[in-house]
Chain A
Amino acid sequence: MSAELKCWQDFPPGGIAFGATARQVETGLWRSMRPVLDAVRCVSCLRCWVQCPDASIITDSDARVSGVDFFFCKGCGLCAKVCPAGAIVMRPEAEFLNEPCGAVQGTSPEGR
C-alpha cells in the first residue's frame, strides 16, 4: 500500500471532513457545453447571476457580468436559458480543447 493512504484508525468518526470546503472542488471538470458571453448584448439584468446553481457568473465592481468561472461552471445552460437578451450561447466543449478547463472567461478573474 502506498505511503500516503491512511489506515482506518486515522479517520475521524462519522466520515466527517474537518474544515472541508466546496471552494476546492472543481465541478467544472464534467462540463460538456460551455456558456459564451456576448458582452455587447448583455443588459446587466443579472438573471444569470441569480440563477446559476454554482455561483459561476462573475461580476465586476459595477455589478456588471464580466465572465464565467469555468473552475465551477458545469455547463447546465441555465444562464443561457434565462438570459432575456440572448447574450449567452452554449457551445460544445470540443470547440475549446486547447484552453484549460479551469480558466475564467472575461476580464476580471476574481472569485476564488
Chain B
Amino acid sequence: MILLGREKPYRREMTSGNLAFAEAMRQINPDVVAAYPITPSTEIPMKFAEFVADGLTDTEFIAVESEHSAITACVGASVSGARVMTASSANGIALMHEIFPIAAMFRAPIVLGLVNRTMGAPLNIHCDHSDSMPERDSGWIQIYCEDAQEVYDTVLLAVRLAEHRDVLTPVFVCQDGFITSHCYEPVEFLSDEIVRNFVGTREPFWPLLDVDVPVSYGSFVMSEDYFEIKRTQLEGMSNVPRVCGELSRELAFVTGREYGAVERCMTDDADYVVVVMSSAAGVAKDVVDSLRGRGVKAGCLRVRMFRPFPYDEVRDVLGDKLGVAVLDRSVSPGGAPPLAAEVRTALYDCPRRVPVASYIFGLGGRDFFPADAEMVFEDLAEGRSGFAGYIGLRDKYARGRRAV
C-alpha cells in the first residue's frame, strides 16, 4: 500500500480490547451504528458515541431501546447500502438471535463486536462462549481473537470480508469478556489514512435505496422455492476461506501481522496438542514453551475461525498426533461440547484414529491456570480420550484440578 501524506503510519498505545474495537470503528467511520449497551461490550458503543458526539465521524448513531431493535435497525440500514457496525454480549446476543439468520439470508454485511460473556442464569458478567456458540448455525462468520491487537486487526479485516462480493455475509468479531475486553495491553494502531485506504467505501449490491433497480427484501416464499433460495446463502460462507486468505495477506502487508483460520504453536513435530480458542490460548502456549524446555513434544492449536470451521487445517495439523485435547469454554447440555464436536468431525476421515480428550473449562469467567494446561498434557501422555472432565470445578469426590 502506498502511504500518502505526513501522518505517522503507526502508533502504539496502552489500550483494551473494547477500546481498540471502538478506535477501529472511528477510523472505519461506518455509515450507521445502532447499539444497545450490555456488559462487557458496553464500552464499544459508549466510546464510539463519544467519537460521534465529538464530531470525529460522519456516522448516524441510533440509540435504540433493545438489542432486538439494534440489530433490526442494522439490517435495515445494511440492505439499504450502508456500512453498518454494532456490538453486544450474552443475553443481548440472545435477544438479537431472531434477526441473525435474517441478516445472513439478506447477505447484510454487518460487523458485530461480540464480547463473550456467559448466558444467565445465574446472572454473571464474566467470560465464556455460551453466548456465541448457540449462534453457530445463524449463518454469521465467527472469528475469535486472542488479544486486543488481534481484535483491532480483525475488525479492519472483517469489514472487507463481510462486504466482499463473493462473501456478503455478516461477521462476529469475538473477544473474551473482561479478559481481553477490559485488560490493558500495548496495541499498534494504523494511521487513519491507511485504515481508510484499506477499508475503502462499501459498494453495495442490490441496495434497497437504489430506485433505478427496485428490489424487495424479505418476501414470503412457499415450500417450492424456499430450499433453493436458502441454498444461495451458503455460497457466501463457502467462499470465506479463499477471500479471507487474500484479504489477510493484503492487511498483513501493512500491519506485518497475518492471521490464518488456525494458529499453530509448535504443532509440526508435536506428539500431544491442546486445541483451544481465544484468550486461554495464551496460557496454553506458555505451557507448551515450558514443556518443550523439559523435552515434552507439546503443541497448541488455536482455532481462530469457528464459522466457517477450518476442517482441512485442523485435520492437517492433528491427523498424525498421539493425543489431542480439546478445551471448550461452553457446554452443550446432553451433547458434545461445540469445539470438540467439530475437531472430532475433522478427524473422522483420518486413516489413523486420533484419540481426542474433551474438557470443559472457564465457565462464568473461571480462571484457566498453567497448572490446568499441564494437567491436560499429562492426561494425554497417559492416553486419555473421551470426555475428560470439568477443569477447575470444585467437586466433593474429585481430587486435583478436575471433576468428571
Contact surface of A with B, Cβ cutoff 8 Å: 5-8, 10-20
Q: A5-B224, A6-B225 are in contact. Are A11 and B232 (CB under 8 A)?
A: yes
Q: Are A16 and B216 in contact (CB under 8 A)?
A: yes
Within 8 Å by CB of A20, from B216, B232, B235, B236, lies B216
Known: A10-B228, A14-B105, A16-B216. 12 other contacts (CB 8 A): A5-B225, A8-B228, A11-B225, A14-B206, A14-B217, A14-B232, A15-B217, A15-B219, A15-B232, A16-B206, A17-B219, A20-B214
Q: Which residues of B contact A13 (CB under 8 A)?
A: 107, 168, 205-206, 232-233, 235-236
Contact surface of B with A, Cβ cutoff 8 Å: 79, 105-107, 168, 205-206, 213-219, 221, 224-225, 227-229, 231-233, 235-236
Q: Are B232 and A8 in contact (CB under 8 A)?
A: yes
Q: Which residues of A contact B206 (CB under 8 A)?
A: 12-14, 16
Q: A20-B216, A20-B219 are in contact. Are A15 and B228 (CB under 8 A)?
A: no
> Closest Cβ of chain A: how far from B397's Cβ, in Å?
54
Q: A13-B235, A14-B79 are in contact. Are A8 and B219 (CB under 8 A)?
A: no
Q: Are A7 and B106 in contact (CB under 8 A)?
A: no
Q: Which residues of B contact A11 (CB under 8 A)?
A: 225, 228-229, 232
Q: Which residues of B contact A12 (CB under 8 A)?
A: 206, 232
> Closest Cβ of chain B: how far from A30's Cβ, in Å?
13
Q: Are A18 and B105 in contact (CB under 8 A)?
A: no
For A6, A7, A8, A14, which residue has the most chain B Cβ atoms within 10 angstroms?
A14
Nearest first, the 7 closest Cβ-Cβ pairs linking A and B are: A8-B228, A8-B231, A20-B216, A14-B107, A17-B216, A16-B215, A15-B229
Within 8 Å by CB of A18, from B79, B168, B214, B233, lies B214
Q: Which residues of A contact B232 (CB under 8 A)?
A: 8, 11-15
> Closest Cβ of chain A: how far from B298's Cβ, in Å?
45
Q: Are B235 and A16 in contact (CB under 8 A)?
A: no
> Closest Cβ of chain A: how far from B243's Cβ, in Å?
15
The residue on B at minimum CB distance from A18 is: B215
> Closest Cβ of chain B: how far from A13's Cβ, in Å?
5
Q: Which residues of B contact A5 (CB under 8 A)?
A: 224-225
The residue on A at minimum CB distance from B165 is: A13
Complex CA–CA separation, A14 to B206 (angstroms): 9
Within 8 Å by CB of B217, from A7, A16, A19, lies A16
Q: Are B228 and A6 in contact (CB under 8 A)?
A: yes
Q: Which residues of A contact B205 (CB under 8 A)?
A: 13
The residue on A at minimum CB distance from B105 is: A15
Complex CA–CA separation, A14 to B168 (angstroms): 9
Q: Which residues of A contact B235 (CB under 8 A)?
A: 13
Q: Which residues of B contact A16 (CB under 8 A)?
A: 206, 215-217
The residue on A at minimum CB distance from B235 is: A13
Q: Which residues of A contact B227 (CB under 8 A)?
A: 8
Q: Which residues of A contact B216 (CB under 8 A)?
A: 16-17, 20
The residue on B at minimum CB distance from A10 is: B228
Q: Are A14 and B106 in contact (CB under 8 A)?
A: yes
Q: Are B228 and A7 in contact (CB under 8 A)?
A: yes
The residue on B at minimum CB distance from A25 is: B220
> Closest Cβ of chain A: how far from B215's Cβ, in Å?
5
Complex CA–CA separation, A17 to B229 (angstroms): 11
Q: Which residues of B contact A17 (CB under 8 A)?
A: 215-216, 219
Complex CA–CA separation, A7 to B228 (angstroms): 6
Q: Are A15 and B215 in contact (CB under 8 A)?
A: no
> Closest Cβ of chain B: how far from A22's Cβ, in Å?
9
Q: Are B215 and A20 in contact (CB under 8 A)?
A: yes
Complex CA–CA separation, A20 to B213 (angstroms): 11
Q: Can you identify 23 A-B contacts, CB atoms within 8 angstroms?
A: A5-B224, A5-B225, A6-B225, A7-B228, A8-B227, A8-B229, A8-B231, A8-B232, A11-B225, A11-B228, A11-B229, A11-B232, A12-B232, A13-B205, A13-B233, A14-B106, A14-B107, A15-B221, A16-B215, A16-B217, A17-B219, A20-B214, A20-B216
Q: Which residues of A contact B224 (CB under 8 A)?
A: 5
For A11, A16, A18, which residue has the most chain B Cβ atoms within 10 angstroms?
A16
Complex CA–CA separation, A16 to B218 (angstroms): 7
Complex CA–CA separation, A36 to B169 (angstroms): 50
Complex CA–CA separation, A10 to B228 (angstroms): 9
Q: Which residues of A contact B221 (CB under 8 A)?
A: 15
Q: Which residues of A contact B229 (CB under 8 A)?
A: 8, 11, 15
> Closest Cβ of chain B: how far from A26's Cβ, in Å?
13
Q: Which residues of A contact B225 (CB under 8 A)?
A: 5-6, 11
Q: A12-B206, A14-B79, A14-B107 are in contact. Are A19 and B214 (CB under 8 A)?
A: yes
Q: Which residues of B contact A8 (CB under 8 A)?
A: 227-229, 231-232
